[in-house]
Amino acid sequence: MRSNAEDLTTRARIRDAAIGLFGREGFVRATVRAVAAAAGVSPGLVIHHFGSKDGLRYACDQHVLAQTATQGREKSDPESTGQLLRDYLNHPDQYLDEIAYIRRVLIDESEAGDAFFDAVVRQTQDIIHAGIEAGTIRKFDDVRSTAVVIASNSLSILLLGRHLSRTLGTVGLEPHGIGPDLLRQLTLPALEIYTHGFYTDSRFLDAARDALQQDNTSGGREHAL
Amino acid sequence: MRSNAEDLTTRARIRDAAIGLFGREGFVRATVRAVAAAAGVSPGLVIHHFGSKDGLRYACDQHVLAQTATQGREKSDPESTGQLLRDYLNHPDQYLDEIAYIRRVLIDESEAGDAFFDAVVRQTQDIIHAGIEAGTIRKFDDVRSTAVVIASNSLSILLLGRHLSRTLGTVGLEPHGIGPDLLRQLTLPALEIYTHGFYTDSRFLDAARDALQQDNTSGGREHAL
DNA sequence: TCATAGACTAAACAGCTGTTCAACCGGGAT
DNA sequence: ATCCCGGTTGAACAGCTGTTTAGTCTATGA
């Protein structure tokens, strides 16, 4: 399912080299010359194929987005989600560049990042709806906000991977890579919170509910913007 | 508690301008000339005071770190945590530069980011321990990992603020700023998960536990690194 | 066989980058 | 009154940046 062979178009080779460098170094740090060198090509050719560095970025965005879109399809059922995860755990370094690129795209403001995040939220929302019907997931008043919270929590290990494996002492594949060890160590604590909760009772929830209620009734917003 | 007056050392003015620009534009994009202009000063003077652009970054790191350290002290009890939050909600734009800077520092690999993340984890751990003793927080087998998960979840809204307010339609203060509206909308869903859980029963938790158990006993790591 | 188009390169270009340097200014110490 | 030193500036520097240009090579179609 992956074009790891060396028989790629020069254009594709440049694009892949750029995805790797943009993800690893960031868009600004990764120079056109570095991309060209990584692809074994002259700097001029990069511009020749993509018009400009921004054009190259756009092409990378589109490619990574398309790649993840095909992977993300039909993973609304927990079955294939687990399969996808198992797939990643067995060949983590194959997705490394892509993941690093997505991380960067989520951080810098870009339309590709917006699209990706929205897709994740949408899929999470679908999963929650399906889970509620199946009885495996609790009924939430505000499914959309809940999905956003869950998506945000899930993506945090993508964004903070470096710090997570650093403080937990697990071996990370790269500066910001997420190793199998890390996922293994975080799975149970996260699932424990997601099944039994974090607090022992609804004290905090009730307090917050009261505070927000009071905030609403007391003549609207008191926090000037 | 804040030196918003104009009677600052030139050095401090440059530093503050740099914190703002580094947070807003990132370290690479923010040029020495831009910092100098923002501080109303010549580029040469910036170097004169901080030796180099990296020296300036170091000074910014130290300053922000010290600033947040004094704020983070003695907030292990929920009382002052709420106070801190209320303080932020009433004057969000005052902390804007600092928050944007911390966001950047967490993302780029830097020792300051490491220190900050570790501090957050440490404080979360303290809170959990205290909560367990007080009976408000569930007893967790692995408090450290749990603290890492909670900290990661919490920081995700700092890192993804832009996307959160974008998809939720709340008004954000800046590209990546976190507005009061956003916090208000996320509080209840997050607390609901934290008190009642996300799943209805321990099916997923048990399955994961079994899978990990089996993974351990089956001759060690099967995922080559 | 020749012409043409596109892939590709080496060199050069202008602009911006961090940094240096010589000079200047103002005020406190001698 | 003089010295002097830190804060400050403007101009300059070398290096790197994205991009352009002129030109070479190679395959393909007429």
Predicted local confidence at residue A215, as pLDDT: 66
Cα(B132)–Cα(B203) distance, rounded to whole angstroms?
Answer: 25
Kindly compute the dihedral angle of the four CA atoms of residues A88, A92, A96, A102, in this order, to the nearest 10 degrees: 30
| DSSP one-letter code for B172 | P
DSSP B202-220: SHHHHHHHHHHHHHHHTTS
Other beta carbons within 10 angstroms of residue A135's beta carbon come to 11
CB nearest to B186's CB, from A145, A200, A209: A145
Cα(A26)–Cα(B107) distance, rounded to whole angstroms?
Answer: 11
- CB-based contact, B171 to chain A, within 8 Å: yes
* Residue B95, min C-alpha distance to chain A (Å): 13
- Alpha helix stretches (DSSP H) within A73-160: 78-90, 96-107, 111-134, 143-159
User: Has residue B1 been placed in a domain?
Assistant: no
- List Cβ neighbours of A36 (8 Å cut-off, separation of 6 or more): A14, A42, A43, A45, A46
Predicted local confidence at residue B77, as pLDDT: 58
Phi first, then psi: give them for residue A218, nearest 5 degrees.
-85, 55
Predicted local confidence at residue B80, as pLDDT: 66
> What is chain A's mean pLDDT, rounded?
88
Other beta carbons within 10 angstroms of residue A180's beta carbon come to 20
CB nearest to B168's CB, from A113, A148, A167: A148
The SS3 of residue B5 is coil
> Is residue A157 within 8 Å of residue B181, measured between CB atoms?
no
Q: Pick out chain B residues at pLDDT < 70.
A: 1-7, 72-81, 215-225
Q: Which of A33-47, A95-109, B69-83, B163-177 has the lowest mean pLDDT?
A: B69-83
Q: Which residue has the higher pLDDT, A104 or A221?
A: A104
Cα(A53)–Cα(B213) distance, rounded to whole angstroms?
Answer: 48
Per-residue CA distances from A77 to A48, A74, A128 (Å): 44, 7, 10
Predicted local confidence at residue B158, as pLDDT: 95
| DSSP one-letter code for A74 | T
User: Nearest-CA neighbor of A90 among B209, B212, B221?
Assistant: B221
Q: Which residue has the higher pLDDT, B7 or A5?
A: B7
pLDDT digits (tens, 9 = 90+) for A10-24: 999 999 999 999 999
Predicted local confidence at residue B219, as pLDDT: 44
Interface of A with B in 73-132 (CB under 8 A): 78, 89-90, 92, 106-107, 109, 113-114, 117-118, 121, 131
When pLDDT is averaged across residues A125-149 and rounded to a whole number, the result is 96
When pLDDT is averaged across residues A59-81 and rounded to a whole number, the result is 78
Are B152 and A153 in contact (CB < 8 Å)?
yes
When pLDDT is averaged across residues A91-95 and rounded to a whole number, the result is 83
For residue A133, give both structure tokens. 């019907």
- CATH number for the domain spanning B86: value is 1.10.357.10
User: Has residue B14 been placed in a domain?
Assistant: yes
Q: Cα A203–A205–A206 angle (5° rounding)?
A: 65
Predicted local confidence at residue B15, as pLDDT: 98
When pLDDT is averaged across residues A92-109 and rounded to a whole number, the result is 93
For residue A89, give both structure tokens. 């755990």
Owning domain of residue B32? 10-159
User: Nearest-CA neighbor of A188 among B209, B139, B128, B129?
Assistant: B209
User: Nearest-CA neighbor of B50 among B36, B40, B38, B67?
Assistant: B36
- Cβ < 7 Å from nucleic strand D: A 30-34, 43-44, 46-47, 52-54; B 10-11, 40-45, 48-49
User: Has residue B214 been placed in a domain?
Assistant: no
Q: Which of A125-129, A169-173, B25-29 has the lowest mean pLDDT?
A: A169-173
User: Has residue B191 been placed in a domain?
Assistant: no
Other beta carbons within 10 angstroms of residue B47's beta carbon come to 15
User: Has residue B206 been placed in a domain?
Assistant: no
Predicted local confidence at residue B221, as pLDDT: 40
CA torsion through residues A9, A69, A180, B147, sign: positive
Cα(A195)–Cα(B197) distance, rounded to whole angstroms?
Answer: 5
Residue A28 has pLDDT above 70, yes or no: yes
Predicted local confidence at residue B201, as pLDDT: 93
Q: Which residues pair with A199 in a beta bridge?
A: B137
Residue A61 has pLDDT above 80, yes or no: yes
Residue A156 has pLDDT above 50, yes or no: yes
For residue B197, give both structure tokens. 């859980």
Query: pLDDT band at A70, cuts 50/70/90?
Result: confident
- CB-based contact, A159 to chain B, within 8 Å: yes
Q: Is A5 left (phi over 0), alpha (psi -120 to 50) or beta?
A: beta
- What's the per-residue H, E or C state across A51-85? CCHHHHHHHHHHHHHHHHHHHHCCCCCHHHHHHHH
For residue B84, give both structure tokens. 């801190």
Phi first, then psi: give them for residue A5, nearest 5 degrees.
-70, 170
Query: Alpha carbon B77 to chain centroid distance?
Result: 19
Predicted local confidence at residue A220, as pLDDT: 41
Cα(A139)–Cα(A206) distance, rounded to whole angstroms?
Answer: 18
User: Has residue B22 been placed in a domain?
Assistant: yes
> Is residue A189 within 8 Å of residue B142, measured between CB atoms?
yes
User: Has residue B18 been placed in a domain?
Assistant: yes
Q: How many domains does chain B have?
A: 1
Predicted local confidence at residue A187, as pLDDT: 94
Query: pLDDT band at A42, cuts 50/70/90?
Result: very high
- b vs e for B143-176, b when ≥16 Cβ sit within 10 Å of the residue's Cβ? bbbbbbbbbbbebbbbbbbbbbbbbbebebbbeb
Predicted local confidence at residue B218, as pLDDT: 54
* Interface with A, mutate which of B31, B96, B114, B153 (most A CBs under 10 A): B153
Residue A122 has pLDDT above 50, yes or no: yes
Predicted local confidence at residue A180, as pLDDT: 85
Query: pLDDT band at A176, cuts 50/70/90?
Result: confident
User: Nearest-CA neighbor of A143 among A129, A122, A123?
Assistant: A129
Are B176 and A136 in contact (CB < 8 Å)?
no
